[in-house]
């Protein structure tokens, strides 16, 4: 009788093959995006594999990826309809998604990643809530944020948080309907026209360490 156990696939991938698109070369990228560089031979495994050459659909259940430099992605499923063109593709990671970087992490229910010219262009995540964390080791500051939805834009190096947004930089934390956190500039903004009639609320914690505050 054939075994009912799932087939396990393991591959060592270089930039030119499967999932090489995850973050590109990093050349000219902003600081946080530059960390998303998988030139160092990522290794991935999944419980099984489905590749449809006619539709270019690729599905990888129980997906795990890691690199020698400490980057990793874990998801219940990885899926793309652009299996024939990884350098310009759109991937959906679903079911308990965790993206770990040397400078931080993202945890979400789903993450949709768009790649342009082999580099992340837009990263959209949602959760209940989704969370991000960015570590500035030089200044000993940890920025944390939670929201129902987040979008990271490479060109601006910003995280846009919407649907009950919360952001903390340790000694300062703010809550709003929507906010934008600039990673490179360490700047937080909340435009009045994005608040749906609600007010922005901030708390100053002078006795808190820069890396200490959590929701």
Q: What is the reported pLDDT for 178? A: 96
Q: What is the pLDDT confidence band of residue 33, given thresholds at 50, 70 and 90? A: very low
- Mean pLDDT within 25-48: 57
Distance separating the N- and C-terminal Cα atoms of the chain: 52
Domain ranges (residues) in the chain: 9-204
Q: Which two tokens mark 2? A: 């054939």
- Report how far residue 148's alpha carbon sits from residue 165's, in angstroms, rounded to the nearest whole number: 7
Q: What is the pLDDT confidence band of residue 41, given thresholds at 50, 70 and 90? A: low
Q: What is the reported pLDDT for 176? A: 96
- Report how far residue 181's alpha carbon sits from residue 202's, in angstroms, rounded to the nearest whole number: 14
Give yes or no for residue 35 having a pLDDT over 80.
Answer: no
Q: Which of 12, 11, 154, 22 is nearest to 86 (CA)?
A: 22
| Span 131-175, pLDDT tens digits | 999 888 777 788 999 999 999 887 788 899 999 999 998 788 999
Give yes or no for residue 4 having a pLDDT over 90.
Answer: no
- The residues with which 65 forms a beta bridge, in sequence order, are 44, 73
Which class would CATH give 9-204?
mainly beta
Q: What is the reported pLDDT for 22? A: 35
| Span 175-198, pLDDT tens digits | 999 999 988 888 899 999 999 999
Which residue has tokens 């060592």?
Answer: 12
For 107, phi and psi rounded to 5 degrees? Answer: -125, 130
- Report how far residue 19's alpha carbon sits from residue 22's, in angstroms, rounded to the nearest whole number: 6
Question: By three-state DSSP, how is residue 4 classified?
Answer: coil
| Span 96-140, pLDDT tens digits | 999 887 788 899 999 998 888 767 778 899 999 999 998 887 777
DSSP state of 198: P
Q: Name the average pLDDT for the chain.
A: 78
- The residues with which 142 forms a beta bridge, in sequence order, are 135
Note the helical H segments in 54-203: none
Residues of 27-39 as b/e, b for ≥16 C-beta within 10 angstroms? Answer: eebbebbbbbbbe
Q: Helices (H), strands (E): how many in the chain?
A: 1, 13
| Least confident range of 67-81, 120-134, 145-159, 199-213 | 199-213
């Amino acid at each position: 009788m054939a075994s009912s156990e799932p087939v396990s696939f393991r591959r060592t991938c270089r930039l030119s093959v499967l999932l090489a698109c995850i973050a590109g070369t990093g050349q000219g990228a902003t600081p946080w995006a530059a960390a998303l560089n998988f030139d160092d031979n990522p290794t991935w495994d999944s419980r099984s594999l489905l590749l449809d050459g006619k539709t270019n659909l690729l599905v990888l259940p129980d997906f795990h990826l890691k690199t020698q430099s400490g980057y990793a992605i874990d998801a219940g499923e990885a899926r793309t309809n652009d299996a024939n063109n990884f350098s310009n593709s759109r991937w959906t990671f679903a079911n308990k998604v965790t993206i770990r970087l040397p400078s931080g992490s993202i945890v979400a229910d789903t993450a949709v990643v768009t790649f342009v010219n082999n580099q992340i262009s837009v990263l959209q995540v949602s959760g209940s809530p989704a969370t991000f964390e960015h570590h500035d080791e030089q200044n000993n500051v940890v920025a944390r944020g939670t929201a129902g939805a987040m979008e990271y834009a490479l060109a601006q190096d910003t995280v846009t948080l919407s649907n009950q947004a919360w952001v903390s930089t340790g000694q300062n934390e703010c809550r709003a309907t929507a906010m934008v956190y600039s990673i490179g500039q360490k700047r937080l903004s909340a435009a009045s026209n994005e608040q749906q009639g609600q007010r922005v609320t901030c708390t100053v914690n002078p006795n808190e360490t820069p890396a200490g505050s959590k929701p």
